[in-house]
Structure 1
């Protein structure tokens, strides 16, 4: 068995040949930018007002001033400010040549075409957004590898950018083993169980923004398993197998991968749940074989498979845990394995749930994530910080 950190290091080192495509910015949310983007314009591109108010030249300010015009947002032809006058101006409107300050409308009183101001309440440059205050022409605004959000889209749109180069998402497929497993539309016979892994892994991939190529069921026969892997791996970049990876007489996945010439990266990790976890390379494709137990399968997916898929999509440092929280209560372990426990994050503290048995899915319904308890930490104290993997 290898340690948890060793497995993460191996997966972090896999070279990924990412492909790039160009999409409209409205289609790019959730994808990763494949280029560094520099602003083609200055933003704002002209000095403008940050408030509804009155624009003036600060050195001309007097308690009573004459209004000489009006400027609204969208005006493109604006007369220069007349000496010792003030102009009505609205948020986003261009500052007239000769003006350098905006007095917000709450500070003035209006009578006819004159306004009364208390000069002591006004500072030079108030409420003037200068050209280039957000960014100058040629300034870096989005780094390569940035995950695109609606905020990114807003920024790009404000720069007049309509399309963006992004990394293509991987094609992913799922193969299920286990003759005892049947679909929810079938009648359950003695000795059979309903399939949880298929819907679970399908939705876990959808949560990552991955369109699943297939979820296929294969019979627990050596030839069937090998033929399915051989045929289906050609259709995807990442193949996920569920079940059949332990050491039982009907666990055919690992022998099938060996027969097909897969390069094994690791098999079995010193952890609970999910000890019999496999990762390998078959041709140019990455293969993960997860335990058939749903609890173990989902835990392994969240800790190992999901970060790899995000790496493929363009993210970096995906195996470095950036979420750490304290335990709400002490936890004692007699295991020599690293534990991934179902937990609930409440008010910034991790509450370890009951029902940690690998067959028990009730606690998964309540869990907000997994907490990692290292194998060296047999007495986990309240308040200590631990890695948290959100669902």
Structure 2
């Protein structure tokens, strides 16, 4: 049995980023850049106004209520290049080219218009006021975004504005899920005494989709050694990661560990000193990493968030792979006995965290409303209301 910290360390030691692929910027949301992206031109590529107002020469404004003659108009998209003469102003709109000779833009709210002239109700006026200068955002040839950057909606907009259409990113892993258990029945089928509806596969597929991982296939296996071996063999040949749920404990019909050994997977560790989720097994062969999660749904999801998800993020090129962790005051006292660290389903609100009712390993109702996990090591078995505890925020 290994500690929580040791389990995470071993998993990451055996996890590397996958190969690089080319994707269109519009289809790269949630991926990680594999190479630096250089700006092919400056942004802005011409001087722009950041306001609706009037382009002026700032030195023309020698006192409050200076009056200037309106000499033209510049609007966004207008190709004609305008020139500003001293003593005049040019009407200008947000994003429009700033006329040659203009050194500032006065927002229209600070002006008044009469008989073809504009009165500037502002003094003094500083050079470059309300101007976007060439290269203010990025200059031609500079690194627009470095390798390792996570592609967000803002990234897509920024790169599109640089006329970049395709980028190099790390591939996301292909995932195979194996569900074991003769007591499990698929949703929509008839439930007999002693059976339960299988929920782990849909839960894990949903969690993977939230991470932007959509290349997922699900197999089901009866509690039989040969069937489990065959399923794991097929899944390992087609996927980067195989996640098994159930069949990993010490029962007479728990065959996942034996099956993994049969197909040549090396067990890196089995069992973690934690509750819930003790019987987690991590194994690997030349091409595939295997995570055998407990069959109890809450245990399975805790192990996914704490161990599988960080590895999947690392495989996808992300550097910050663990759930965001914070120290927050707990809303009420809590204590536990034993020699295993505990993860509690919890809810963060108003700067504090509350552990939820229903901490049993089979209970998903509390997970359905949780937005965090409280991590309590054995060294912190008793906490009082207001004590700081480690909180891991769940992805949404």
TM-score normalised by length of structure 1: 0.95
Between 107-116 and 323-332, the greater mean CA deviation after superposition: 323-332
Shift of 1:125: 2.4
What CA deviation, in whole Å up to 9, does each residue of 1:341-377 have, x standing for no partner? 1111112211001211112222222222321111211
Aligned residue number for residue 59 of structure 1: 59
Between 48-57 and 205-214, the greater mean CA deviation after superposition: 205-214
Shift of 1:234: 0.4
SS of 2:283's partner is strand
Match among 109, 112, 119 for residue 112 of structure 2: 109
Is the 1:336–1:376 contact (alpha carbons within 8 Å) kept by the matching residues of 2?
no
What CA deviation, in whole Å up to 9, does each residue of 1:305-348 have, x standing for no partner? 11111111111141374444331222212132110111111122
Aligned residue number for residue 387 of structure 1: 391
> In the superposition, relative to structure 1, how do residues 179 and 134 fare at CA in structure 2: closer, same or farther (>3 Å)?
same
Between 102-111 and 248-257, the greater mean CA deviation after superposition: 102-111
User: Residues 241-256 of structure 1: matches in 2 within 5 Å?
Assistant: 241-256=244-259
What CA deviation, in whole Å up to 9, does each residue of 1:18-63 have, x standing for no partner? 1211111111111111111121111111111111111121222362
User: Residues 139-150 of structure 1: matches in 2 within 5 Å?
Assistant: 139-150=142-153
> In the superposition, relative to structure 1, how do residues 159 and 225 fare at CA in structure 2: closer, same or farther (>3 Å)?
same
Is the 1:61–1:84 contact (alpha carbons within 8 Å) kept by the matching residues of 2?
no
User: Residues 1-391 of structure 1: matches in 2 within 5 Å?
Assistant: 1-16=1-16, 18-61=18-61, 63-118=66-121, 120-319=123-322, 321-381=324-384, 382-391=386-395
| 1-structure distance, mates of 2:370, 2:325 | 19
Is the 1:311–1:318 contact (alpha carbons within 8 Å) kept by the matching residues of 2?
yes
> In the superposition, relative to structure 1, how do residues 119 and 145 fare at CA in structure 2: closer, same or farther (>3 Å)?
closer
| 2-structure distance, mates of 1:390, 1:113 | 60
Shift of 1:121: 4.9
Backbone CA RMSD of aligned residues: 1.7
| 1-structure distance, mates of 2:374, 2:142 | 41
TM-score normalised by length of structure 2: 0.94
SS of 2:378's partner is coil
Q: Any unmatched runs of 5+ in structure 2?
A: none
| 2-structure distance, mates of 1:362, 1:15 | 32
| 2-structure distance, mates of 1:155, 1:183 | 45
Shift of 1:212: 4.2
What CA deviation, in whole Å up to 9, does each residue of 1:259-295 have, x standing for no partner? 2221111100000001010011123100000011111
Is the 1:324–1:388 contact (alpha carbons within 8 Å) kept by the matching residues of 2?
no
| 2-structure distance, mates of 1:143, 1:294 | 39
> In the superposition, relative to structure 1, how do residues 317 and 365 fare at CA in structure 2: closer, same or farther (>3 Å)?
closer
Between 23-32 and 358-367, the greater mean CA deviation after superposition: 358-367
SS of 2:112's partner is strand
Is the 1:176–1:243 contact (alpha carbons within 8 Å) kept by the matching residues of 2?
yes
> In the superposition, relative to structure 1, how do residues 389 and 303 fare at CA in structure 2: closer, same or farther (>3 Å)?
farther
What CA deviation, in whole Å up to 9, does each residue of 1:218-254 have, x standing for no partner? 1111111112111221011100111111111111111
> In the superposition, relative to structure 1, how do residues 359 and 43 fare at CA in structure 2: closer, same or farther (>3 Å)?
same
Is the 2:112–2:118 contact (alpha carbons within 8 Å) kept by the matching residues of 1?
yes
Tell me which stretches of 4 or more aligned residues in structure 1 moved more than 4 Å.
none
Work out the number of aligned pairs and report it. Answer: 391
> In the superposition, relative to structure 1, how do residues 301 and 52 fare at CA in structure 2: closer, same or farther (>3 Å)?
same
